């Protein structure tokens, strides 16, 4: 859960605060959870929602970009070389907040662009564009640091 929070917020203190708040929320509302086997995914959702709420409070605004063409990048990982996860994690932390948020939700948490749009109150087009930009920036940051063998 900490890794999710740090990926979203890129700030250790904020991530720790969100984690504490999320656990407090989860345990105070535990009786609402009908299937105890789903605790992990339920807690994960609470952490993500709390991260998004904090980002909104910090006024991370998403731009609507309708005029720009974007491409689906769902299959971009085919044939990709193996990469040191720590290297990727550091590169993700360096991404701009908007792109990092969409990238984490899409690539790491498995959300669809429609779910991301609804969660962040942005258009599907903006979600796709931010995701594409984040992947492009990530690619540039990792270029030359990846062993393709």
Which CATH number covers residue 42? Answer: 1.10.1740.10
Q: How confident is the model at residue 11 (pLDDT cuts 50, 70, 90)?
A: confident
Q: How confident is the model at residue 17 (pLDDT cuts 50, 70, 90)?
A: very high
Q: Is residue 129 part of a domain?
A: yes
Instruction: Assess whether 89 and 146 both reside in one domain.
Output: yes
Residue in 1, 6, 2 with CA at minimum distance from that of residue 93: 6
Instruction: Assess whether 57 and 89 both reside in one domain.
Output: no
CA distance to 14, 50, 85, 128, per residue, from 47 (Å): 12, 5, 22, 23
* Structure tokens that stand for 136 in this block: 């492009």
Query: What whole-number distance in Å separates Cα of residue 122 and Cα of residue 134?
Result: 16
pLDDT tens digits, residue range 89-132?
888 888 888 888 898 889 888 889 998 888 888 899 998 999 99
Average pLDDT, the chain: 80
Instruction: Assess whether 43 and 91 both reside in one domain.
Output: no
Please state, for a pLDDT cut of 90, what percent of the chain lies above it.
Answer: 21
Per-residue model confidence (pLDDT) at position 25: 93
Instruction: Assess whether 46 and 90 both reside in one domain.
Output: no
Per-residue model confidence (pLDDT) at position 68: 44
Domain count for the chain, please give it: 2
Q: Considering only residues 76 and 95, tell me which one the structure prediction assigns the higher pLDDT.
A: 95
| HEC sequence for 51-100 | HHHHHHHCCCCCCCCCCCCCCCCCCCCCCCCCCCHHHHHHHHHCCCHHHH
pTM value?
0.58
Q: Is residue 75 part of a domain?
A: no
All residues at 6 or more sequence positions from 8 whose CB lies less than 8 Å from its CB, including other chains: 15, 48, 51, 52, 55, 100, 101, 104
Residue 15 belongs to what domain range? 1-61
Instruction: Assess whether 89 and 133 both reside in one domain.
Output: yes
Instruction: Assess whether 57 and 84 both reside in one domain.
Output: no
Residue 56 contacts residue 84 (beta carbons within 8 Å): no
| pLDDT at residue 16 tops 90 | yes
């Amino acid at each position: 859960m900490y890794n999710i929070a740090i990926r979203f917020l890129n700030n250790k203190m904020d991530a720790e605060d969100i984690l504490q708040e999320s656990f407090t929320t989860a345990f105070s509302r535990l009786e609402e959870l009908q299937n105890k086997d789903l605790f992990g995914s339920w807690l994960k959702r609470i952490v993500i929602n709390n991260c998004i709420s904090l980002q909104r409070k910090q006024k991370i605004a998403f731009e609507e970009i309708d005029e720009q063409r974007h491409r689906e990048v769902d299959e971009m990982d085919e044939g990709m070389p193996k990469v040191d996860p720590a290297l990727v994690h550091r590169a993700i932390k360096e991404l701009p907040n908007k792109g990092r948020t969409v990238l984490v939700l899409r690539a790491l948490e498995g959300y669809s662009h429609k779910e991301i749009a609804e969660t962040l109150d942005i258009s599907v087009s903006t979600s796709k564009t931010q995701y594409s930009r984040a992947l492009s920036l990530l690619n540039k940051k990792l270029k030359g640091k990846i062993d393709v063998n």
